[in-house]
Amino acid sequence: MKATEFGRAVRRWRDRASPEAAGLPGGGHRRAAGLRREELAMLAGISVDYVTRLEQGRASNPSASVVEALARALRLSGTERAHLFRLAGLAPPGPETVSAYVTPSVQRMLDRLAGTPVAVYDASWTLLIANPPYAALMGDPSGWGGGRPNAVRRHFLGPGTRARHTPESLRAFETALVADLRATAGRYPADRRLRRLIAELYAGSRRFAELWDSGAVGHHEAGRKTIDHPHVGPLTLDCDVLTVAGSDLRVVVYTAEPGTEDAERLALLTVLGTQSLTG
């Protein structure tokens, strides 16, 4: 019964969601005003077959990450998202855990910034959304290593970032990452996923363990970064980290000064990156 109710809810909200509201091009011949199954699958990062089986009640016990991805793709409100979790037989994430809920208003903001590299992270620096220009600039998140893409894991245990650092800026960046994660752990002591991430980092990176044990204090600041891109060369960009009011979401935005060579390279990268991701 739960599987059937879950599937009916997903289908009902899919029919309600317009392509334009989901950041997809509208128009063309469509049998219904809502999202196609293929579109929902793409937005949620799951297979079309799995969406079909969920809607038909032939797949039960979807994971919390799948439910979260569907809620995000369908632009559900907080109340609707909680209801979908309950239909899946899961407890909705509470205030004691790091929230992965991206509000529809933040989603709309990303839609409006389609030509600007933008990503949304949760309080543990786990990546929730990266638009195509961000992926083109910083690399495909699926290649960051580990399970769910995480910026702290990527730096200390994975391939690292494309951002160029001096010894001083590297120390400041690492200190800010570790201090920020410690502050998050203090706010969410019951979050088991966060505890596993910290244990993984502590065991796998001597530098992380050193900074964690030292009680390093720091914070992220807006600043200019040089990104060494393998195809278009170096880009010096402004990087702003914005916090969404009422949540611990971090919105990372990269912009270039208009009229500069960096702006031209970023525009080229955005076009080429978008084509490669959608072609």
pTM of the shown model: 0.79
pLDDT level of residue 278 (50, 70, 90 thresholds) = very low
Distance (Å, whole) CA 170 – CA 87: 46
Environment class of residue 252 by beta-carbon count within 10 Å: exposed (0-12), middle (13-18) or buried (19+)? Answer: buried
Q: What is the predicted pLDDT for the residue at 277?
A: 41
Q: How confident is the model at residue 114 (pLDDT cuts 50, 70, 90)?
A: confident
**What are the chain's domains?**
2-87 (1.10.260.40), 104-278 (3.30.450.180)
Which pLDDT score is estimated for 144? 73
Say which range, 78-92, 189-203, 216-230, has the weakest mean pLDDT: 216-230
Query: Mean pLDDT over all residues of the chain?
Result: 87
Q: What is the pLDDT of residue 146?
A: 60
Average pLDDT for 197-216? 94
Cβ–Cβ < 8 Å for 130, 141: yes
- pLDDT of 47 reads 93
Of 176, 139, 181, 178, which is closest to residue 160 (Cα–Cα)? Answer: 139
Say yes or no to pLDDT of 219 above 60.
Answer: yes
